[in-house]
A and B are shown apart, each in its own frame.
Chain A
């Protein structure tokens, strides 16, 4: 049981009693020496030399062992030997002095117990008790002896209990320490400890490993921890540590330090990221006595964050590239659209002129069969080109619902004849005949079919249908075109004896569906149906083995009063009868167009006398002409070189104002028909708008209206109404007047709800209600009210103060109670009285 090497670890692992064994022996030895020495000497004096000798021997053993412990040397007298001597001394003392000797047994029991290992101690003690007991019974009273033995036994039992309890506690602590050790190992954290008093720095094995050293490396020569930190992190960490270490607290307090991330230098020179969490422990003087920190290697996390940031940057770069590409694409599309637009205008204008001139030729010259064929060839060619020019862009606009449908009278039979002429050559090679009937009668000058539609679209549809029919028809059969009228619609049925294959039937009208047609784009039937629907018509297909295939095109029929344009001799006569019999007023007309064909065409419809017609080739010439001789009516093309229509009207209006003249009526001509143009016309101050080619009747209607001082037909309808105010009359659709009272009632209730929500601060409700109001008011053309509702909603969505919006709500409510309806005028209805009864 000699402890030669000192090792704190070994000490910690042994039972606590054993851990202190040496100290106990040392202490006891000193005390025993001090206490025993007088008694020992006394024995000699009192004449007990044997007892004196042995007790002196015990004292000397104690001294020798104590000195040896102090000097950290081997014990000269091993403990078991010492105890045997002690026992012998005790026995001799008891034998010699009886009870007096027995008193020493009690400290001896304790000495044995705390110095020896338990089993050995109990053995010694029980042996001692036996010996002492024996002697006691021999030399003393039985009563006394009994009590002595009992007392000794009890003492042994109590010390055993005591050390047992202590050991149990100590085992718990050992277990906890073991667990802590495991935990520490498991967290993979390194631990660092700094002791202020000794300025000692302790690195746990794991921490040393983290820094690239052996776990048992000697750290006594290591510099302070800040030396290991990355220079960029050092100052921050050191100042934070010093701040924390300066604080004072109650003794024993453990204060959590601010954790943080920083870099430590690895043995290989690189830096690793660690996350540190420290604890300040205050000593008895209130200052920080110790600092313990756990450090966790977080380099991996930092690496991943860095990767993430890099890939985010990459994504951002790619997103930016995509955005740039999109912008470039949009530009390209815009450029292409512009080019298309210009090309279309430059192509359409002369083509329209060609067609118009051809029509005039037909009207005037009554061509014979051969001439008719020749004319037909030219017409067909012109139509085909026009169709191509229109097709691509218009299809898109139709799909988007942006196509503005402007119907006029269309002679379907004439179109069918034109197309038939084109396909005749192909039909002949198959022996296929084409027959057209109107209401059962063969189509001729008297039997014609008309629709209220657009000529080019109808041409496209009929061309598509007829060509397909001829291709699908079996050889030698007949393709029948049947025109009729039914239920307010003009109907065209194209029959052929071919049968549409079953597999194709369902996708017949689908975009990009082709069936066996080599090089087909698949757009034919799709666009045909689209065009039919855009004209408020429909295209349908029925096919069966028994009856062949019928394609049925329905279009709106002519409305009341629309005059069909008739061709041919009888047509001329009829048209003369049908045409406006009123004489044209005597007006001064200025006709401005850079396209000589259109000028000729329009001019031909403006007989002078009674009209006085001056023509100008572009805007500049127009301004000069207007200056020289003020016209009553100006028909002005918009797209002209040198000076276009928009600029010209500005200048003409300016010189009218300067000269104090009443503004003349100015009508815009354009090949384009879209809202952008119409809007510009409104803003420029045009009174009406005609798209080319404009029929003579329209022009005449306008002239009559000017002469009679009436409102012009074909006014430019602005797309977006000018911003209106609360006092402007509301332009409600006449169809909706019946529903108006209920509408006003329900909207007023909603406005009340909105006001309540605004005052209560319920932003969600405000958004919902304002949105509902805005939508419905817009539909019923309460434009100012709709704008106000939208504005309220936007203000609420932007986080504005809700209560202040309640006033605008009030204005809305007042408006709904007192609005006026706009006098639509045409049918002479008197303005409605204010609603809100």
Chain B
């Protein structure tokens, strides 16, 4: 059986990480961090198949993380999906389901849609 895909979750709220753990932990192998500066080392080390990242983090925000991952050739190809609490699914759809050029999904979407988006975006 093929190895499970690996996700790197970035959110400073433990409740969110716990939630994603419960809902996605069966389907994916999960790494998680709340510290934005740890994202790049974790990505280089663990080689996740996708990074799911909250936009509004203290210190470095989602945009900075996106830039940092993009700047490093080893992590450039890892797909990144932003998870945002600020935009409703409808508004996000109106923006083409993207924020700042990266795929994005709303925390208000049902978990099935979040999971579907992750699956579709894994590269």
Residues of A within 8 A of B (CB): 398-403, 405, 486-487, 489, 530, 533-534, 536, 538, 540, 554, 719, 733, 735-736, 738-739, 742-743, 746-747, 768, 771-772, 774-776, 778-780, 786
Contacts and interface: CB of A to CB of B under 8 A. Distances in A.
23 contacts: A399-B120, A401-B105, A401-B113, A401-B116, A401-B119, A401-B120, A402-B93, A487-B1, A533-B122, A534-B116, A534-B120, A536-B27, A536-B119, A554-B2, A733-B23, A735-B22, A738-B22, A739-B18, A742-B15, A772-B13, A775-B84, A776-B13, A776-B16
B32 to A, nearest CB: 14
A354 to B, nearest CB: 30
A775 B18 contact: no
Contacts of A533: 119-120, 122
Given A486-B1, A530-B120, A534-B116, A776 B15 contact: yes
Q: Nearest 8 A-B pairs (CB), nearest first?
A: A775-B85, A401-B117, A776-B15, A487-B1, A775-B107, A533-B119, A778-B108, A401-B116
A540 B27 CA distance: 17
Contacts of B16: 775-776, 779
A774 B15 CA distance: 12
A540 B86 CA distance: 36
A775 B119 contact: no
A778 B16 CA distance: 10
B122 to A, nearest CB: 7
Interface string B60-95: 000000000000000000000000111000000100
A405 B116 contact: yes
A122 to B, nearest CB: 85
A786 B15 contact: no
Contacts of B58: 768
Contact of A786 (B56, B97, B108, B120): B108
B37 interface: no
A747 B14 CA distance: 11
Given A771-B86, A775-B107, 13 more contacts: A401-B116, A401-B118, A401-B121, A403-B120, A487-B1, A533-B122, A534-B119, A540-B2, A736-B22, A739-B15, A743-B15, A772-B85, A775-B13
The binding surface of chain A is classed by DSSP as: helix
A486 B1 CA distance: 7
Interface string B1-35: 11000000000111110110011000100000000
Say which size band chain B's interface belongs to. 20 to 34
A779 B107 contact: yes
* Among B27, B110, B119: residue with most chain A CB under 10 A: B119
A89 B6 CA distance: 124
B111 interface: yes
Given A774-B85, A786-B108, A779 B116 contact: no
Nearest to A552: B2
Interface in B44-61: 54, 56, 58
A733 B54 contact: no
A618 B115 CA distance: 39
Contact of B120 (A398, A738, A774, A779): A398
Given A533-B120, A536-B119, A735 B23 contact: yes
A489 B93 CA distance: 32
Contacts of B18: 739, 742-743
Contacts of B54: 775
Contacts of B107: 775-776, 778-779
A820 B12 CA distance: 28
Nearest to B26: A735
Contacts of B27: 536
A534 B121 CA distance: 10
B74 to A, nearest CB: 15
Contacts of A554: 2
A114 to B, nearest CB: 83
B82 to A, nearest CB: 12
B120 A733 contact: no
Contacts of B13: 772, 775-776
Given A746-B15, A771-B56, A774-B85, A733 B111 contact: yes
A399 B117 CA distance: 8
A746 B14 contact: yes
Contacts of B122: 533
Contacts of B117: 400-401
A538 B2 contact: yes
Contacts of A401: 97, 105, 113, 116-121
A487 B116 CA distance: 21
B19 A779 contact: yes
A768 B85 CA distance: 11
Nearest to B25: A735
Contacts of A536: 27, 119
Contacts of A403: 116, 120
Contacts of B97: 400-402
A617 to B, nearest CB: 36
B45 to A, nearest CB: 22
A736 B120 contact: no
Contacts of B22: 733, 735-736, 738-739
A772 B118 CA distance: 22
A771 B1 contact: no
A392 B12 CA distance: 39
Contacts of B118: 401
Contacts of B86: 771
Contacts of B110: 719
B108 A747 contact: no
B88 to A, nearest CB: 9
Contacts of A771: 56, 85-86
Give the most central of B2, B84, B96: most A CB within 10 Å.
Answer: B2
A401 B19 CA distance: 20
Contacts of A399: 120
A691 B120 CA distance: 23
Contacts of B120: 398-401, 403, 530, 533-534
Nearest to A403: B116
Given A401-B105, A487-B1, A746-B14, A778 B85 contact: yes
Contacts of B14: 746
A424 B54 CA distance: 51
Contacts of B19: 736, 739, 776, 779-780
A399 B110 CA distance: 17
B3 to A, nearest CB: 11
A779 to B, nearest CB: 5
Contacts of B84: 775
A405 B122 CA distance: 17
A823 to B, nearest CB: 20
A742 B96 CA distance: 36
A733 B20 CA distance: 12
Nearest to A488: B1
Contacts of B1: 486-487, 489
A781 B16 CA distance: 12
Nearest to B96: A400
A704 to B, nearest CB: 27
B20 to A, nearest CB: 8
Contacts of A786: 108
A557 to B, nearest CB: 12
Nearest to A790: B85
Nearest to A793: B86
A779 B93 contact: no
A748 to B, nearest CB: 12
